[in-house]
Structure 1
Amino acid sequence: MMNSDLYETLFEEGCIRKETLDNIRDKRSRPLFSLHWELKTLLYLGVMLLSTGLGILIYKNIDTIGHQVILAFIAATSLGCFYFCFRHKSPFKKEKVKAPSTLFDYLLLLACLSFLSFLGYLQFQYGVFGNNYGLATFIPMLVLFYVAYDFDHLGILSMAITNLGIWAGISVNPLTLVSNIDQGGRPLILTGIALGIFLIAAAFLSERFNIKKHFHFSYTHFGTQLTFIALLYGYFHDFEQEGSILWVVLLFAFAWYIYRDALTHKSFYFVLLCVVYTYISFSAVVVRYLLKGHDIGVFYLAGIYFIGSAVMFIKLLIHLNKKVKAL
């Protein structure tokens, strides 16, 4: 606004011509379009494709290259990237720290991906961890959390949280879950709920003690999704039992907490998650009780419910979106 007033003043004083002023107005009416996130996404994708391409190349030429050479190459890549990042990193702060450069950001990501590939290769080829798969996931999880906090990297934090989920899921025995859902389902549900609540607590503590408070979104995202899915799975797992409605009650209570937190942080994304999962669980209960009837009218009632509820669902989202924007 100050620049516009300046140009108007210069024109009135005869310092610039009318054509120049018109050109300035025209340029200001068509601002530049930022490609920041598009380029950043392409760069992240490039690092992932590089790691994948190297993996395919190594796999196809494993007989001619040799395992030791491959491990040495992966280790050298990881160590070289980590060395560069440690040399150029900013001192640790509890607040958000900006990356020194774009190259730094992607070399750190490549270093962590190479590190995970190195450990995975060691375990697959030489079985260095034996049958202790929990340890094989626990060590990289600790490294990823350390790197995420020390280098202030949201992408590495997401990898660390994912690794935490893998480590926690090892004790559930996924093979048993697939072969017999009644035996494997309950431990998986409880593990999911416990891990989800742990992540929500981590999000709360990060803000409460101002330790990387911008990590709040990542922790809340994973914790919310995981807890909602686990509670929904709990309801469908106990679908034939009378006490299954308790899972829905717990889901509604959890949704209310996330909804209040979302309003505090003015986040429509988490409001949307609350509405979607609540609608799914409520609809599951409605359909369950409708199916108890054997009359043909049940299908008409179900159709009326879904049409009416879909309209109300859309109206509710529009209302909540306006509410969040007004905060």
Structure 2
Amino acid sequence: MIPTDLYSELKENGTISAESFEKLTEKQRSPLFSLHWELKTLLYLGVMMLSTGLGILIYKNIDTIGHQAILAFIAAICGGCFYYCFKHKKPFSRELLKAPSVLFDYLLLLGCLSFLTFTGYLQFQYQVFGTNYGLATFIPMLVLFYVAYEFDHLGILSIAITNLAVWMGVSITPNRLLSTGNFDNNTLIYTYLLLGAVLILAAFLTEHFNFKKHFRFSYLHFGVHISFIALLFAYFNHYESKLAFLWLLILFALAFYLYLDALRHKSFYFMLLVIFYSYIAVSILVFRLMDTMNNIGGMYLLCLYFIVSATALILRIVRLNKQMKTS
């Protein structure tokens, strides 16, 4: 933004008139407000509402339209979107690649959502993959990851990661889920611990090899949440055994690694996540210790702990935020 002193100097030199000076200073006082993110949000909501509306329309008129016609209609939308995107896409790059236009970005998202609807409808109505639900989620997952990397789309990458989580959960326990209606807690915990580790490793590798390193945030975002939540569930699932404290030790080790990583990248968001989950783990240990006292004094100490620790935690977060901004 041009400083007002420059306008004053130009006015004194006679380069601009007094009227122009007033207009420029008024514009300086009232800068334009960017609606970039508001418009992008509305456009994303438009794509989602369009997909939802089409689904409702098809559901209410399924008897009169027919399944083949519905599948052909969805395939036409999906094919048209991908045809446009492949025709207008930029050459592949390992670095950040911006979309050629706003329309391109949203047609790509609509094409992927239509593809997921098509495969889901095909499996539900015609059982193309039989009872192999892992394959029914694996194929869309591969397509989504390919599209995310080929077109450099963070939104589709997030959908692909979500699909990866669904695939890992479904492919490991489908028979047990269908036969008993219950998941094996240990199996799910180990599955999602593996998923969290894979996503954190993907975040590290994408930066290490400088291959779409702007995808690092998405991988790490999902990986951190999944890993910490799975470790907490593992602790509670083994609450009465000696393994419970081992899971908390793993959690603290992961927290220490992510803490150093957040400091290195000056990422306040991931620092906040590490502090939040570490605080939960410490509070679990304190609560368990106070619970063994089994008296009114333990309850008072527990209340005092939460008051003091919450205050200290807030002060620490504020201090860390200032340090990261100034460093």
Asked whether the two chains share a fold, i.e. TM above 0.5, the reply is: yes
- Give CA-to-partner distance per residue, 1:225-283, whole Å, 9 cap, x none: 11011111111111111230111111111111111111222211000000000001110
CA shift, 1:190, in A, is 1.0
1:295 and 1:313 map into 2 onto residues whose CA distance is 27
Provide the secondary structure at the position in 2 that maps to 1:291.
Answer: helix
TM-score by length of 2: 0.95
* Percent of aligned pairs with the same amino acid: 61
1:210 and 1:316 map into 2 onto residues whose CA distance is 33
- Give CA-to-partner distance per residue, 1:139-163, whole Å, 9 cap, x none: 0000000000000000010011000
- Give CA-to-partner distance per residue, 1:38-69, whole Å, 9 cap, x none: 11111111101110110011001100000000
1:45 and 1:39 map into 2 onto residues whose CA distance is 10
Q: Which residue of 2 aligns with 1:103?
A: 103
- Give CA-to-partner distance per residue, 1:153-182, whole Å, 9 cap, x none: 00010011000000001114584899657x
CA shift, 1:114, in A, is 0.3
CA shift, 1:299, in A, is 1.2
Contact 1:177 1:185 in 2 (8 A): no
The alignment's C-alpha RMSD in Å is: 1.8
Q: Which residue of 1 aligns with 2:129?
A: 129
Contact 2:165 2:195 in 1 (8 A): yes
Give the residue type in structure 2 aligned to 1:261.
D
Give the residue type in structure 1 aligned to 2:187.
P
- Bigger Cα displacement from structure 2, 253-262 vs 157-166: 253-262
1:73 and 1:232 map into 2 onto residues whose CA distance is 45
1:25 paired to 2:25: yes
**Number of aligned residues:** 325
TM-score by length of 1: 0.95
Give the residue type in structure 1 aligned to 2:237.
H
- Bigger Cα displacement from structure 2, 241-250 vs 308-317: 241-250
Give the residue type in structure 1 aligned to 2:324.
V
Unaligned runs of 5+ in 1: none
Relative to 1, partners in 2 of residues 1:49 and 1:178: Cα closer, same or farther, differing over 3 Å? farther
Q: Which residue of 2 aligns with 1:225?
A: 225
Give the residue type in structure 2 aligned to 1:124.
F
Q: Which residue of 2 aligns with 1:156?
A: 156
1:2 and 1:226 map into 2 onto residues whose CA distance is 47
- Give CA-to-partner distance per residue, 1:91-135, whole Å, 9 cap, x none: 001111110000000000000000000000000000000000000
2:282 and 2:62 map into 1 onto residues whose CA distance is 53
Provide the secondary structure at the position in 2 that maps to 1:292.
Answer: helix
Q: Which residue of 1 aligns with 2:201?
A: 201
Give the residue type in structure 2 aligned to 1:43.
L
Contact 2:144 2:156 in 1 (8 A): yes
2:180 and 2:230 map into 1 onto residues whose CA distance is 16
1:294 and 1:11 map into 2 onto residues whose CA distance is 80
Q: Which residue of 2 aligns with 1:246?
A: 246
2:25 and 2:179 map into 1 onto residues whose CA distance is 65
Relative to 1, partners in 2 of residues 1:180 and 1:60: Cα closer, same or farther, differing over 3 Å? closer
Contact 1:231 1:251 in 2 (8 A): yes
1:144 paired to 2:144: yes
